[in-house]
Chains A and B, each alone.
Chain A
Amino acid sequence: MSHLSLARVDKFYGRVDHGVHAVQNVSMDIEKGEIVALLGSSGCGKTSTLRMIAGFEEASRGTIALAGREVHTLPPVRRNVAMAFEGYSLYPPLTVRQNIAFALKSAKLGKTEVDARVAEVAQLLEIEDILDRYPSSISGGQQQRASLGRALIREADLHLLDEPMGQLEPQLRAVLRGRIKHFVKERGYTAILVTHDQTEANALADRIAVMEGGVLQQFGTPSMIKERPANLFTGTFVGEPPMNVFTARVAGDDGRIVLELPEGVTLAYPAGAFTDDVRRTIRAKGDIVIGIRPYSVRRAESGVEATVAVNQWLGDQTHIAADFAGGIIVLVEHDRTVLEPGRTIAVEIDPAALHIFDAATGIALAHGMELA
């Protein structure tokens, strides 16, 4: 049995089956020691899911089991879950140190032990110098780190982190991501974080659950979500810059595949570019949507023409946007590239890098050589 298991969980606000269906039939199994991110934009149901796991909301239907016991009927205190809140929820009359140590109250540890553990998380989160200040006198970023400290210091069956880094100082984010991941992994904690920021989800999580409209769209490793998105939503939601997307009609004869894009742009692939299965599937569909990750688009000597619209250098990457097939195609290059707007370039799209979706349903048909 998994460490945490959600089985067919529904959440209605208002009457069951009539109110707002915020979480729809979500099932998820999370193993011990895993870090899982619930990723989605606001209103997608991720926070409701987290709150049901924590016990702040009742599941309208379905079961939640943690560490071998059914917890969905238990009040929050009896679920043995540690949580860092988005709004920090620090106790104003206590100092940062007391706030963090407060989480250890029920563990009945000796003073030296408590001090040592507070010192450890304080160092991890760079809040040593504000330990004796009160929450009202520190910045939002510092409050968020204190709140994280209060959650991380506890040993619990599950650590829940609600938008744990949204307010962190940008300069600290990258290094804290690394440290927190190291800390959680070292102790074998199981953690769920809720975030709208895919960078954070990708950086911290072993697996990501992408949610939209109350529905779990896909649950998989970051690389799986990136390389094998289950549908057009996941494909375009995850990835920065976002995936390039074009509608296409499938044509061609024999083994050849010709993809007819808008404005007369065609991508022709010789026999053997796709496996027989993929070719049959997309031929049968006729109308498809193709997606190409910006880093998979290559500039070539010859290929399909595109006109450079914008060239943006960001210090360590260059983002090039070019007019292509009635839309824009974005390329990412890892060094400084100067291409004046208006210049014509040739782009090459490797069939192995193509994501193919059903035009009507958005469900993935194929990723490169493989059927979805």
Chain B
Amino acid sequence: MSTLELDDVVKKFGPDTVIDHLSLKVADGEKLVLFGPSGAGKSVLLRLVAGVIRPDGGTVRIGGADMAEIEAEDRGVGMAFQNFALFPHMDAFDNIASPLVAHRTTREKIRTGVEDVARLLKIDHVLSHKPRALSNGQKQRTALARALVGQPPLLLLDDPLRNVDAKLRFEMRIELPRLLADRGATVVYVTQDYKEAMAIGDRIAVMRDGRIAQLGTPEEIYGAPETLAIARLFGDPTINLLDVVPEADGEGLHVTISDRPVRLPAALRAAAGKPCVLGIRPESFHFVEASAPGAIPVEIEAETPLNEKTVTLAVTRRDRELLISRPAGTPAPASGSAHIAVDGAATLLFDKGDGRRIRGADDERRAA
């Protein structure tokens, strides 16, 4: 086990700053996910930790030790790559064995080490195959086995499930957390898939433009994203975003959707009269009877199934599009006109100007 600390790390490629004064601490045994769109600097950060590229400033500490003078081969980390990066001229056995071979272990130890991890990842029957004879799933498992075989205290996984099909990806998403927990290693995991991020991470660091935009547990990031941009990165279908100007009233605060008021938490009163963006997750809407309190009339445009959900594209009276999702198998609304409702407490309100979420009183309490 090992801790990882990044302190004010900077990396530039020519005139472009790819890592912009980034600091981060990963606790012993923690699984941290680096999540963000491509070009955010996630993979570069991982390579800085591995030591194959050098930072232009700041320090990287692994297990408390400064890595400035330590070469990649002496850092003792394990890494798996998105493109697998298998050695094409070596068979799967030699690929997996490469970290053991470096440490002058006996042949016997190498063989048992490789076979143990291969059995764990269910590739023990293809150890004599060259990478080109392996299926995508087997390549990915071989790459993972190579990262795990030396029992490294720090594991760096660079989007390892990106290049495998949906079914394998799901299976690995289920298998991986247990595998990692059994090893007890500290893990830094890079992904562009928010579901993977939420499923695997103890904490998620959302990266944008070489900085960490938000760092928190999956619950914090999904439920209380700092900015509109972060809110859009999590959730499938994407969060609904509506331009609104909240109005203060006797009871507190409301916005108008389809000419009907939707109550917002009174704690957000400061936002009254300001141009805002209201974020409503598709699953926060419910279909209701026309007579129900808070019912909002909409026109239904299309119904599309999505995994275990059904997504409805609906239009409000003001021609605004809304996506509404419900568990598959629950009754469909009548086609044409329908009514929906939403709990104001489950919505998110963002400042239209800077995109930051407007915090209510309960947020302040949580922060404190």
Residues in chain A within 8 A of chain B (CB atoms)? 41, 170-175, 177-179, 181-182, 185, 196-199, 202-204, 222, 236-237, 240-242, 294-295, 309-310, 312-317, 319, 321, 328, 330, 332, 334, 341
Contact = CB atoms under 8 A, between A and B. Distances in A.
B165 A196 contact: yes
Contacts of A174: 236-238, 282, 304, 306, 311, 323
| A171, A182, A237: most-surrounded residue (chain B CB, <10 A) | A171
Given A41-B165, A314-B195, A316-B281, A240 B170 contact: yes
Interface string B192-227: 001100111000000000000000001100100000
B120 interface: no
A143 to B, nearest CB: 16
12 contacts: A41-B165, A175-B313, A178-B323, A203-B306, A203-B311, A240-B307, A295-B308, A313-B219, A314-B199, A316-B309, A319-B199, A321-B174
A259 B309 CA distance: 31
Contacts of A294: 308
A316 B236 CA distance: 9
B14 interface: no
Contact of A177 (B167, B304, B325): B304
B90 interface: no
A203 B281 contact: no
Contacts of A185: 302
A100 B283 CA distance: 36
B313 A198 contact: no
Contact of B177 (A177, A240, A310, A314): A310
Given A175-B313, A181-B304, 13 more contacts: A41-B165, A174-B237, A175-B321, A178-B304, A178-B311, A196-B165, A197-B166, A202-B304, A294-B308, A295-B329, A309-B174, A321-B174, A328-B174
A316 B283 CA distance: 7
B328 A295 contact: yes
Contacts of B222: 315
Given A197-B166, A240-B166, A315-B222, A171 B308 contact: no
Contacts of B194: 315
Interface in B174-192: 174, 177-178, 181
Nearest to A198: B166
Interface in B273-332: 281-283, 301-302, 304-309, 311, 313, 321, 323, 325, 327-329
B173 interface: yes
A203 B323 CA distance: 13
Contacts of B234: 315
B356 interface: no
A165 B32 CA distance: 30
Contacts of A313: 198-199, 218-219
Contacts of B198: 312-315
A356 B252 CA distance: 57
Interface in B316-368: 321, 323, 325, 327-329
A307 to B, nearest CB: 11
Contacts of A182: 301-302, 313
B47 interface: no
B235 A315 contact: yes
Contacts of A315: 194, 198, 218, 222, 234-235, 281
Given A175-B323, A330-B174, A202 B305 contact: yes
A59 B167 CA distance: 31
A210 to B, nearest CB: 13
B165 A171 contact: no
